[in-house]
Amino acid sequence: MGGMIIPSITLNDGTQMPQLGFGTWKLEQDQAYTSVRRAIEVGYRHIDTAAIYGNEVEVGKAVRDAVAAGDVTRDELFITTKLWNNQQHEPGVAFQQSLQRLGLDYIDLYLVHWPCPKQDQFVSAFEGIARIQGLGTVQSIGVCNFYAEVLRRIIAETGVVPAVNQIELHPGFPQLELQNLHRELGVVTQSWSPLGQGSLIDDPVVAGIAAAHRRTPAQVILRWHVQQDLVPLPKSGNDARIAENFNIFDFHLTQEDMVALTALDSGRVGPDPLEFPA
């Protein structure tokens, strides 16, 4: 490995974010620790966790140990965590708890995890996160799972444009309208479940394109994200697949490939943010 440079994307606050991140949802305990160490070893510089994943302690320890071992410096890493729904009324408290579990001096990106429209606290939650931003312990702020209406509302009511909206997005669910709104507003789109939680790996269209490029289905799908200026966050607990998913910066899909992948229509794999939590 080594030597492979990940392109970065500039956020609306001027910060640079590596365009591929390592997803950690469902990685627990030892596996969270070893997978994050492995990801950093193969070259990932962007790690995505959340309070609700229950692995901030292990993720943070992996980051600190990687820095202590000389694999990377802290400033080369981009670490994200998220405010869980039951703490939308106390974002400052929740943030400090995450920071403590991670054992880090600062995090790079803090996100409101779900809008939870029925709870209707997302405006003050985002406003609270925006206040923390000035204190030096969080570089950038944003949201996840925000659809157009709630995205426009936080901007109108707080005057702050989130740097990022992290949404479910993959070839079976390309979210073209929301992608366009993000471009218009200057919000970077991060893709969660970029591989459709594995459901697209066996698709024959994906397989055909992968064979043509002598790549794997996962690499083709992740390349589809990168070529649209999206930031995919693939998760894997497997050493070989962690490395496989990183090696996507030395080939190009054709316009035809891109169109064929976007036309796949598997739909959502996760919950609808309008309804969540049910």
In the bound state, the residue with its beta carbon closest to ligand A2P is 218
Dihedral sign for Cα atoms in the order 35, 40, 43, 48: positive
Report, in Å, the least distance between residue 222 CB and ligand A2P: 8
CA dist 96 and 20 (Å) reads 26
State the CB neighbour count (10 A cutoff) for residue 211.
12
266, amino acid identity = S
Q: Tokens 């929301």, residue?
A: 178
Nearer Cβ to ligand A2P, position 97 or 247? 247
Whether 53 is a known active-site residue: answer yes
Report, in Å, the least distance between residue 58 CB and ligand A2P: 15
- Binding residues (CB under 6 A) for ligand A2P: these are 23, 193-198, 201, 216, 218, 234-238, 241, 244-245
Beta strands (DSSP E) in the chain are 8-10, 16-18, 22-23, 46-48, 78-83, 107-112, 138-144, 164-168, 188-192, 231-232
Nearer Cβ to ligand A2P, position 138 or 220? 220
Q: Is 170 annotated as a binding residue?
A: no
Q: Which of 33, 53, 110, 147 is catalytic?
A: 53
- Quick one: which of 184, 179, 149 has its CA closest to 165? 179
Structure token digits, residue 12: 């609306």
Report, in Å, the least distance between residue 211 CB and ligand A2P: 15
Nearer Cβ to ligand A2P, position 96 or 266? 266
What is the set of active-site residues? 53
List, as residue ranges, the binding site: 113
* Binding annotation for substrate: 113
